[in-house]
């Protein structure tokens, strides 16, 4: 599976994930290689998914959206790289017409890509 999450130097999501590993003292990782052992990743990944979801809720709320839930599914691919399998964003009672939904979806996709580097192909939005 090709990772949809794209790495950049100083990437916030990846660096925060590494900090979570270090906090749990599971194992030292070779940060220069940016590789993760799948067994080790599975230990921490659910806690990290929850933290990232909460961060995205806070981010979107500050942008003025009423978010009811965010659910992110992270994976470790065959090359031992961290990826985003799916990001589900649910809004509270947003009775938007079709055009406004499309415009909002494009905006959300753009700001999520800009802040978290997550491609729109894995983002699902429920209004």
The per-residue pLDDT for range 16-61, each reduced to its tens digit, is 666 666 665 444 444 544 555 555 556 677 778 888 899 999 999 9
Total number of residues shown for the chain: 127
Residue 68's Cβ-side half-sphere holds a number of Cα atoms within 13 Å equal to: 8
Domains of the chain, with CATH numbers? 12-126 (3.30.300)
DSSP one-letter string for 93-115:
S----HHHHHHHHHHHHHHHHHH
Q: Which residue has the higher pLDDT, 82 or 111?
A: 111
pTM: 0.66
Q: What is the mean pLDDT of the chain?
A: 76
Strands (E), the chain: 67-76, 82-91, 123-126
């Amino acid at each position: 599976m090709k990772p949809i999450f794209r790495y950049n130097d100083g990437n916030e999501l990846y660096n925060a994930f590494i900090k979570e590993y270090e906090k749990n003292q599971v194992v030292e990782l070779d940060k220069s290689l940016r590789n993760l052992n799948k067994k080790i990743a599975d230990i921490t990944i659910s806690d990290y998914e929850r933290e990232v979801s909460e961060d995205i809720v806070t981010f979107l709320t500050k942008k003025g959206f009423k978010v009811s839930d965010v659910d992110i599914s992270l994976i470790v691919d065959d090359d031992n790289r961290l990826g985003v399998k799916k990001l589900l964003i649910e809004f509270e009672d947003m009775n938007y017409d079709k055009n406004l939904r499309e415009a909002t979806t494009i905006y959300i996709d753009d700001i999520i890509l800009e802040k978290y580097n997550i491609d729109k192909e894995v983002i699902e939005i429920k209004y």
